[in-house]
Copies of this chain bind each other. A is one copy, B any other.
């Protein structure tokens, strides 16, 4: 039996086209856009099974703890690789391939985006198996999706003649995003959507890369050779990786190699490139609305409403996207939802924090969320995951009251270490060296009331940190 396919998940994107839900600080692959799992988690679940080996996740230095935690939540073991900076999909896929190759010279890699949605995972797995024979023969197999309508937001692939002994075909043409008339013609002529997922032998891809993009190949291979393992993460060497040209795998390899092949996927798929794209895959109500969260509608049609926590109400509107989250609301016509990225650019220029960070801020040990703020106080909800530990720290301008509302805290204040149980509180005086940890089996939740004349996040002196943040 062939060795398992090694999934390489590209989870380093910082998409803002689904703002205000997706932001640079926590982009859409890590968020639950439909159902309870994030698209990254759904991707992991899609490649679980005897056909697949341990996934490699390539992500950025802000997301590696998150990537591991979300895999752990599913009980899935992953290798998390940290890209020191973004060098587009070419370098990320090459890094995943090079790491795989060190482990198994014959390894077949499935490179796939962590922020796509596939509605038929079984069909997806069949497509992987169908493409495998061509990959074993040295082809770089791209996944073409059978179109359901003439989309203008995707690139297209024209399949050519079948490749003997495989269920794949030659690639006759790759084409860029077409206009609507062209897209309609493509669909009629048997073109497929280009999904940006690939199956290949690691040695083949790296060989083609050495031939076509030698600078990228050498930069990535060196960054892997000189990588180090830190808290279980594979950290690519920054100096070497930085030298890689910034190119997508399409430009670097696919459009220039003669080793391509295409396998046809017959699963429902979306890259969720905008709020409007939810219509491709999400269920609708009887008036064609895609709804999530508490929503009340009167005579609304073909709208997307995404409502977190609070109630969202619409009267008499059509083809509108309304997104409401803790700190921001967005209203945009469906047809203009591609312009959300321009709005985010404007918000960044205006230095609005909502452009980048969420109200809930994730940390290696859990998360916190500011729930109220006054002139000289701030209230936070803090959740520390089992085994999590904040840095040993002190503040110059604030004291803190902690009230445990779930679980048990282990609190260090100066030389004292003591447990604080549910419904107990403790006071951290201004200037005191302190630390908060959860040694228990369930998440620790506490309410922190800060008082002082300055309450910024930068009033923190870290004296010791298990996550290497000192």
Contact = CB atoms under 8 A, between A and B. Distances in A.
A371 interface: yes
Nearest to A381: B372
Interface in A111-127: none
A256 interface: no
A315 B343 contact: yes
Interface stretch (A21-29, A227-235, A239-247, A398-406): A398-406
Interface in A209-233: none
A340 interface: yes
A375 B298 CA distance: 32
Interface in A300-337: 307, 310-317, 320, 322, 324, 326-333, 336
Contact of A324 (B329, B333, B343, B447): B329
Contacts of A376: 405-406, 422
B330 A313 contact: yes
Q: By CB atoms of chain B within 10 A, which of A331, A342, A343, A371 has the most?
A: A331
Given A329-B311, A343-B315, A451-B423, A296 B405 contact: no
A456 interface: no
A285 interface: no
Contacts of A311: 327-329, 347, 352, 354
A347 B314 CA distance: 12
SS class, residues of chain A in contact with chain B: strand
Nearest to A451: B423
A405 B313 contact: no
A405 B324 CA distance: 30
Interface residues of A, number: 54
Nearest to A309: B327
A83 interface: no
A425 interface: yes
Interface string A110-153: 00000000000000000000000000000000000000000000
Contacts of A423: 399, 451
A251 interface: no
Contacts of A77: none
Interface of A: 20, 296, 298, 307, 310-317, 320, 322, 324, 326-333, 336, 339-340, 342-343, 346-347, 350, 352, 354, 371-372, 374-377, 379, 381, 399, 401, 403, 405-406, 422-423, 425, 427, 445, 447, 449, 451
6 contacts: A311-B352, A311-B354, A315-B336, A322-B331, A377-B447, A447-B447
